[in-house]
Amino acid sequence: MSSAELKAIAMLLRARNAIDERIADVVGRPVVHGHLSDWIAAQIFDIELEPAPNKAIDGFFRSGPLAGRTVNIKHYTRNQGMLDMTDAEELDTYLVMTGPRSAGSKGVHRPWAIEHVFLFDAQGLYDVLHAEMRRIGDSTSVPTRYWQQAEIHPVSRNANFPLSAEQTAALEEFRSGPGV
């Protein structure tokens, strides 16, 4: 790597740090992937976030058909059919936001985007995967049919959580754009 490339990277990281600082001022949390995803989901889906980090529960729905139910929020830059799961009985739902479907491109830029949103019944999914003898934990392989059943955006397949026009419009703001 040349010194010009190093200087370019340093300059870009300074610009990125300035942007991250501005985002942190808005969301009131450090700009790490999980905190930002949780904050965005909380704004769009009316979720009360837990004040302290909790491995299983990020918060609870304040309104709508799932009012009072607990949620674990996930965001993946690519939809690779994997879900980090827990066996916590107090967890009711997984709200999963993903970027585009995985193209399997190693070393390629993965833009922060929301292309798809899924809502899983946590205990139901745990039970069905356990019955199928799947390993459950970090990077649990979830069959495509379950992802399809849980989809709430851009295609609404999960009748348990219809999105309002306002929620759909808010999610559209986070699409990755052409060519990604």
CATH code for the domain in which residue 84 is found: 3.40.210
Domain that includes residue 19, residue range: 1-31
Model-level pTM? 0.87
Whether 180 is covered by a domain: the verdict is no
- 180 pLDDT band, cuts 50/70/90, is very low
* Strand, coil or helix: 20: helix
Cis check: omega of the bond before 178, within 30 degrees of 0: no
Q: Which of 49, 29, 128, 28 is nearest to 95 (CA)?
A: 49
Same domain, yes or no: 19 and 42: no
Residue 159's pLDDT is what? 87
Count of structural domains, the chain? 2
Same domain, yes or no: 20 and 71: no
Is the CB of residue 135 less than 8 Å from the CB of residue 8?
no
The predicted-structure confidence for 25-65, as pLDDT tens digits, reads as follows 888 877 776 788 999 999 999 999 998 767 799 999 999 99
